[in-house]
Amino acid sequence: MWNFRPILLVEDDAIDALTVKRALKHLNFHNHLIHLKDSREALEYLKAEANTKPSIIILDLNTPKMNGFELLEIIKFDERLKEIPVVMLTMSEASQDIDKSFKQNVAGYFVKPIDFDHFIKAFDAIYKYWALSELPSDR
CA pair distance 86, 118, nearest whole angstrom: 20
In angstroms, the CA 10 to CA 42 distance is 7
Domain count, the chain: 1
Is 79:71 a contact under the CB 8 Å cutoff?
no
In a domain, 44, yes or no: yes
pLDDT tens, position by position, 2-46? 457 899 999 999 988 998 888 888 888 778 899 999 999 999 999
Q: Is the pLDDT of residue 64 over 70?
A: yes
Alpha helices in 27-136 (DSSP H): 39-47, 68-77, 95-103, 116-132
The pTM assigned to this predicted structure is 0.88
Q: At what angle do helices 68-77 and 95-103 cross, to 10 degrees?
A: 20
138 located within any domain: no
Domain range for 51: 2-132
Handedness of CA 59, 63, 65, 68 (dihedral sign): positive
Per-residue model confidence (pLDDT) at position 129: 73
The CATH number of residue 106's host domain is 3.40.50.2300
Residue 3: predicted pLDDT: 57
Rg (C-alpha) for the chain, rounded Å, is 14
50 in a structural domain: yes
pLDDT at 86 over 70: yes
**Any domain includes 139:** no
